Chain A
Amino acid sequence: MWDVEIRGMASAHAIIAASIFMATIMPAVLVEKFSVYGTHLVWLYSVAGSVAVVNIAVFWLLGISPPTKKNTLSYKLSKLFRSCVYFLLSCLFFHTVVVLYGAPLLESALETFSLAVLLSTFTTLRCLCILGPNVQAWIRVFSRDGAMSVWDTSLQITTGCSVVGAWLGAFPIPLDWDRPWQVWPISCSLGTTIGFLTGLLTAPLWIRWHRKQLTYKLK
């Protein structure tokens, strides 16, 4: 059973990772004068969009989402609405944090917000997909020993990796190398993406490696 779940997760992660690569390649074909540094926001939103779409599709197909008690349309709609609100709130939250970290307040607010959107896509959206708009469940997963399934653990790992990636990505900005990737927010968004990819890669490996130690409480 373990192996099946891990294999499933690995393939899901592979698909998500592939979507990131596709999102990098596709605009190069479709958009004129596309470059990751030059037209960075295009790249950023294409990655964010494709990851969002693929995430939702994969988790919907796999049926990982928590079982719903009610199956009415209005309930589903309100759930969808709440998810959207949460996503927006998390974008604002990331935006605030990034500004507190020293991003300019007024100028290049669009870039800062785009970074916040990217971060939210990599973290909050996955939470929404796997756990649903349920704050209690989020707190449970992100407190210690709170993971109840392999998916929870993978969520912990990818989220942590993305945030740490963004954090590390900020380091080269003050250096005076005058490289194109030192422009705000390129290094941070690249760091986030690389962190996320690392998270996707490590999560199945880590879980496989530690499967003896991991004991999940029953739901």
Chain B
Amino acid sequence: MAGSDDVVLLNFWASPFGARVKIALAEKGVVNYDYKEEKLADKSSLLLKMNPVHKKVPVLIHHGKPICESNIIVQYIDETWQNDDPPLLPSDPYLKAQARFWADFVDSKVRFSGIWRTKGEEQESAKKEFIDLLKVLEGQLGEKPYLIGESFGYADIAVIPLSCWFYALETVGKMNIGQECPKLIEWVERCMERESVSKSLPDPHKIYEYLLEKMKKLG
């Protein structure tokens, strides 16, 4: 059965990257692991030791060995814990490549700090860019229940944490993501029906408060 012994997760509650790892662990039935909340302004010596190169969360520590970078951690989790459910990554090499592509897409293309850091024309431009990228994701979804096919998996895990920022971005940016991307919102709701997701994602209202604080600090 899924052993939670000797599994430690270093994370920051608002991190969408950490959320990916939490979802993956929950999907595999790995519960009761040691969760350590990090203060980003005052990183623990454990974090600095386990991720000296980037000094970032999330870090998964399994049997004392660190694994860093959220998408890499999720793949590690998939390869290490196997249960009766389909694996998080499809077994077909071609579909696996597709899943990896869309997980990578989020990290390399999706940016939204412009929506809350800027005003006026710059902000409008940032909003449009963000919506355009969400529409690309919607295009990939098509009529499928999940991003790659019939099963919830790696690509969905990579993208779904974005959704907990939607409320904050809509409020600050005065936008309506549901109106622009209705099918994507349906997919979000479908993913949220899974306990692994609903229990792992931070509360969108808390994210909004967190964002307001960040904006205040920027002046």
The answer on A and B forming one complex is no
